[in-house]
């Protein structure tokens, strides 16, 4: 008896010591003991636990890597919604933000703010009950995320157990910590190199790498990924009140959570807040991790409460987005790409150049009209810019660098891939290949089909799809379901384990949901949002297949253009035969209560928008496409029914008319920021 007691005491002491040294190492970045000493403690803990499995507890530091999750992640409902942030793009927008706040609070007192780096990672919630970490979950649609507890536990900078408060009080009964899981730039590059060696597809950026890592079904894999965590707020803290955001962050830090104390600053007024945003922007590229802006938050919690929130963002916070970064380089050649819907896009192949920490070797030129407007020629020296996730683009030509040998560009008069005739629909400036069987369209269509948001076939990356098509192993999406291991093994960079994993993923994808299936077909104008709207309305695929244009238009968010595109897709024999082959290959659409299809309104859904003037970041057809995908409608003339007028450079008379009619006017920046809001 005595012996067990001694062992329990020793175990408790070992766990406490290990937790403390973890904290020194991962949270404070200031270890007190050597790695060897730490390892000794850890090995002693493991040895005792091995001899006494009955004494192992969930929060023991030995329990970070658990068993694989069977049957996918379970949904997890957040106790309070995980909101997003409104974006601001200039100092003036920070001032506007402050004016709005002061108006709402009827106050003219100076306001204090906190300004923090906006981490470009993956938002997660950690739920602690008392001191113990119970759940780690993704943001999901803001209301319900996925329970990724077993993966979260593998992240060493996330404590499995919190320290008790210094003042002797108890920890909150329940604490929902919010923060960002991310990967440092160097670790990301190292990981990609290793993946390339193993023939696995590289991650596009550290954020994708972090997101991909926490969504692994096997925590062993997550455990090997160099993930880190910073907390930036809470959802709830039952039984605790905080006076200010700074106090909240300091307290979280004292309880053992990692906080970006080095760069978070309390600012006494908006000028100071703006100055700290500028400072963070100036060091953006020197930081070891990616940030995509700064977050300004009202510091006083009571004021935050008084301000409250809108449907998807709090009124007391603003994301200050950094300016896109630009660099100068040369256009080697202009190439023409054929997309999934046959659209031809001219692309500038560049001499590789670093733009804000990322090497860029291609930039979109949108279409012939854009090329003419900017007078872009092969051989030109140009300024390219990259803003966040957006595909890099050419801002302008440095004409002073012209030698006279630059070649003007003309779009081809036939499809550069299959030689078919080109068509241009409606009033679009976009040229399209008229051949639905064009290899380029088929290739893009298959890549869309397997993508994460569509059928989500993990491991079937772009390069692999290219190989499968080149070798004649797949001609359309349904062929994927007939692939066998002996088809995969001879491919480049393939290994038995990888091939088995891919085939498993192919198999898993057979059971899908209606919104994903509809989206995966790649029907023009049917983005994720419209696919969800359709799924909710029609409930099963057969109903959708039989829907008429009128029926479709009668749904609030579907305009005539989307309706026509759907009807035309679903009346095409080739498409129907593909769909039949998919079902014959074993695709089943999981019955899910459609109330559970996450569908929150986008600010543009069901709204009527008119565009005027020239947009600087995209062409009209591109803007139109994005609006349609969010469920909005485009009108050509203003009326009292118009909801928004989007104003580009040199707007016409519409601007004054909109003001008369009381139509809400959106600057290009506001328009972009609203487009980016998630649904
Ligand atoms: S506060 C209610 N602070 O940005 C306020 N968010 O666009 C919620 N993010 O989903 C967020 N760093 O994942 C906040 N210091 C920070 C952040 C931050 C990154 C992310 C977060 C959120 C997204 C909103």
DSSP assignments along 57-73, one per residue: -TTSGGGSS-PPPTTSP
Cα 84 to ligand 1 centroid, rounded to whole Å: 6
573 is written with which tokens? 């024999």
Classified as helix, coil or strand, 139 is coil
- How many angstroms separate the alpha carbon of residue 19 from the centre of ligand 1? 28
Distance of CA 643 to the CA centre of its chain: 28
Which residues, other chains included, contact 651 with Cβ-Cβ below 8 Å and sequence gap of 6+?
612, 613
CATH number for domain 325-412, candidates 3.10.20.30, 1.25.40.10, 2.60.40.10, 2.40.50.140: 2.40.50.140
Residue 155: closest CA among 137, 181, 176, 174: 181
Q: CB neighbours of 360 closer than 8 A, spacing ≥ 6? A: 327, 329, 350, 352, 353, 354, 384, 386, 392
Q: What is the residue with the minimal CA distance to atom 17 of ligand 1? A: 118
Q: What are phi and psi of 383, to 5 degrees?
A: -100, 125
Burial class (CB in 10 A: 0-12, 13-18, 19+), 94: buried
The CATH number corresponding to 608-675 among 3.90.1560.10, 3.40.50.10190, 3.40.47.10, 3.30.565.10 equals 3.40.50.10190
Closest CA to 256 of 130, 131, 127: 131
Residue 264 CA, closest ligand 1 atom number: 15
Q: Do domains 439-509 and 513-590 have the same CATH topology?
A: yes
Q: Which of 229, 21, 62, 9 is nearest to 136 (CA)?
A: 229
- Which pLDDT does position 426 carry in this prediction? 62
Superfamily of domain 87-321: DNA ligase/mRNA capping enzyme (3.30.470.30)
**Residues 609 and 632 sit within 8 Å (Cβ to Cβ):** yes
The pocket around ligand 1, CB under 6 angstroms, is made up of 83-85, 116, 118-119, 123, 139, 180, 232-233, 295, 314, 317, 319
Residue 179 CA, ligand 1 centroid: distance in Å: 7
- Report the atom number in ligand 1 closest to the C-alpha of 260: 15
Neighbour tally for 45: CB within 10 Å: 21
| Pocket test residue of 140, 142, 183, 295 for ligand 1, highest count of atoms within 8 A of CB | 295
* Dist CA 564 CA 58 (whole Å): 56
CATH architecture of the domain 2-64 equals Orthogonal Bundle (1.10)
120 CA to centre of ligand 1 in angstroms: 9
Between the CA of 118 and the centroid of ligand 1 the distance, in Å, is 6
What is residue 456's DSSP assignment? -
**Residue 19 main-chain phi, psi, to 5 deg:** -60, -45
CA of 83, closest atom in ligand 1 = 2
Say how many Å lie between the CA of residue 92 and the centre of ligand 1. Answer: 21
Mutate to test the pocket of ligand 1, among 78, 115, 232, 249 (most ligand atoms within 8 A of CB): 232
CA distances from 653 to 476, 591, 611, 650, 666 (A): 49, 51, 12, 10, 15
Orientation angle between helical segments 185-197 and 206-214, nearest 10 degrees: 70
Residue nearest atom 12 in ligand 1 by C-alpha distance: 118
The pLDDT, as a whole number, for residue 580 is 95
Tokens of 565: 């595109």
Going by alpha carbons, the residue nearest to atom 3 of ligand 1 is 232
Alpha carbons 245 and 304: distance in angstroms, whole number: 9
List, in sequence order, every beta strand (DSSP E) within 78-121.
87-88, 113-119
CATH of the structural domain 439-509, one choice from 1.10.260.40, 1.10.150.20, 3.40.640.10, 3.30.230.10 = 1.10.150.20
**Which of 118, 153, 265, 633 is the catalytic position?**
118
Domain boundaries, the chain: 2-64, 87-321, 325-412, 439-509, 513-590, 608-675
Atom of ligand 1 nearest to the CA of 120: 19
User: For the residues of 588-643, what is the DSSP string, one character each?
Assistant: EE----GGGS-----TTTT-EEEEESB-SSS-HHHHHHHHHHTT-EE-SS--TT--
| Sign of the torsion angle spanned by Cα atoms 162, 163, 169, 170 | positive
Q: Which element (helix H / strand E) includes 561?
A: helix 560-570
Report the chain (679 residues): mean pLDDT per 10 consecutive residues: 82 94 87 90 93 90 84 90 91 95 91 96 96 95 92 95 92 97 94 83 84 91 95 96 97 96 96 96 91 96 94 92 87 94 92 83 89 94 79 90 94 94 78 91 95 92 92 95 95 90 95 94 90 89 93 86 93 94 93 61 84 84 82 86 89 86 86 75
Give me the DSSP letters along 229-298: EEEEEEEEETT---SBHHHHHHHHHHTT----TTT-EEESSHHHHHHHHHHHHHHGGGSSS-EEEEEEEE
Q: Which residue's CA is minimally distant from atom 16 of ligand 1?
A: 118
User: How far, in Å, CA of 62 to CA of 304, rounded?
Assistant: 40
Give the Cα separation of 206 and 496 in Å (integer): 27
**Tokens 């035309």 belong to which residue?**
568
Q: Are 133 and 153 in contact (CB under 8 A)?
A: yes
Question: Which residues have a Cβ under 8 Å from the Cβ of 104 and sit 6 or more positions away?
Answer: 306, 307, 315
Atom of ligand 1 nearest to the CA of 116: 15
Integer angstrom CA distances of residue 60 from 7, 38, 46, 378, 638? 15, 15, 10, 62, 64
Q: Which of 558, 556, 534, 529 is nearest to 546 (CA)?
A: 534
Considering the domain delimited by 513-590, tell me its CATH architecture. Orthogonal Bundle (1.10)
Task: Give 229 Cα–ligand 1 centroid separation in angstroms.
Answer: 13
- What is the C-alpha separation between 134 and 138, in angstroms, rounded? 14
624 is catalytic: no
pLDDT at 563: 94
pLDDT at 596: 61
**Neighbour count for residue 564 (Cβ, 10 Å):** 15
């Amino acid at each position: 008896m005595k012996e067990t007691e001694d062992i329990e005491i020793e175990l408790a002491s070992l766990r406490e010591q290990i937790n403390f040294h973890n904290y020194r190492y991962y949270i404070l970045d200031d270890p007190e003991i050597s790695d060897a000493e730490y390892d000794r403690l850890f090995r002693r803990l493991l040895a005792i636990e091995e001899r006494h499995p009955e004494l192992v507890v969930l929060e023991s530091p030995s329990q970070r890597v658990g068993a694989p999750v069977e049957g996918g992640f379970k949904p997890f409902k957040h106790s309070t919604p995980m909101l997003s942030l409104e974006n601001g793009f200039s100092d003036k927008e920070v001032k506007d933000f402050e004016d709005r706040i002061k108006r709402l609070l009827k106050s003219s007192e100076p306001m204090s703010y906190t300004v923090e780096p906006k981490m470009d990672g993956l938002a997660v919630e950690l739920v602690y009950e008392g001191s113990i970490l119970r759940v780690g979950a993704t943001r999901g649609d803001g209301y319900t995320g996925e329970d990724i507890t077993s993966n979260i536990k593998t992240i060493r900078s996330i404590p499995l157990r919190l320290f008790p408060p210094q003042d002797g009080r108890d920890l909150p009964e329940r604490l929902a910590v919010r923060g960002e899981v991310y990967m440092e730039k160097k670790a990301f590059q190292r990981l990609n190199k290793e993946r390339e060696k193993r023939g696995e597809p590289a991650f596009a950026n550290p954020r994708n790498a972090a997101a991909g890592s926490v969504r692994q079904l096997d925590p062993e894999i997550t455990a090997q990924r160099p993930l880190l965590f910073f907390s930036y707020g809470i959802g709830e803290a039952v039984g605790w009140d905080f006076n200010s955001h700074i106090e909240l962050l300091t307290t979280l830090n004292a309880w053992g959570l990692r906080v970006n104390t080095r760069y978070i600053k309390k600012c006494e007024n908006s000028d100071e807040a703006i100055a700290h945003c500028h400072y963070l922007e100036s060091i953006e590229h020197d930081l070891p991790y990616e940030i995509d802006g700064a977050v300004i938050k009202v510091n006083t919690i009571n004021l935050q409460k008084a301000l409250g929130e809108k449907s998807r963002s709090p009124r007391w916070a603003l994301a200050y987005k950094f300016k896109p970064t630009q660099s100068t380089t040369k256009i080697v050649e202009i190439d023409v790409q054929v997309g999934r819907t046959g659209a031809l896009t001219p692309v500038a192949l560049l001499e590789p150049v670093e733009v804000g920490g990322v090497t860029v070797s291609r930039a979109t030129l949108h279409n012939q009209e854009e090329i003419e407007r900017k007078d872009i020629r092969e051989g030109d020296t140009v300024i390219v810019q990259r803003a966040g996730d957006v595909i890099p683009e050419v801002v302008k030509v440095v004409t002073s660098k012209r030698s006279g040998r630059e070649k003007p560009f003309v779009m081809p008069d036939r499809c550069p891939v299959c030689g078919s005739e080109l068509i241009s629909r409606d009033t679009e400036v976009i040229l399209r290949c008229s051949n639905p069987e064009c290899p380029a369209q088929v290739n893009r269509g298959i890549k869309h089909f397997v993508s994460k948001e569509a059928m989500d076939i993990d491991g079937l990356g772009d390069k692999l799809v290219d190989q499968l098509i080149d070798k004649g192993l797949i001609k359309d999406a349904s062929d994927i379901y007939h692939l066998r291991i002996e088809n995969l093994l001879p491919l480049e960079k393939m290994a038995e384990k990888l091939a088995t994993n891919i085939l498993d993923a192919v198999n898993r994808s057979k059971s899908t949901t209606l919104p994903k299936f509809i989206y995966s077909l790649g029907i023009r104008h049917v983005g994720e949002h419209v696919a969800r709207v359709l799924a909710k309305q029609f409930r099963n695929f057969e109903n959708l297949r039989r829907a008429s244009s009128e029926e479709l238009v009668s749904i609030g968010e579907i305009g005539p253009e989307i309706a026509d595109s759907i009807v035309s897709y679903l009346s095409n024999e080739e498409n129907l035969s593909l769909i039949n082959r998919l079902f014959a290959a074993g695709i089943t659409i999981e019955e899910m209560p459609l109330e559970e299809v996450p569908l929150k309104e986008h600010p543009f859904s069901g709204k009527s928008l008119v565009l005027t003037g020239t947009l600087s970041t995209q062409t009209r057809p591109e803007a139109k496409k994005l609006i349609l995908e969010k469920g909005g409608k485009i009108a050509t003339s203003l009326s009292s029914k118009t909801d928004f007028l989007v104003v580009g450079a040199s707007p016409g008379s519409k601007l004054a008319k909109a003001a008369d009619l009381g139509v809400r006017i959106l600057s290009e920046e506001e328009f972009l920021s609203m487009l980016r809001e998630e649904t």
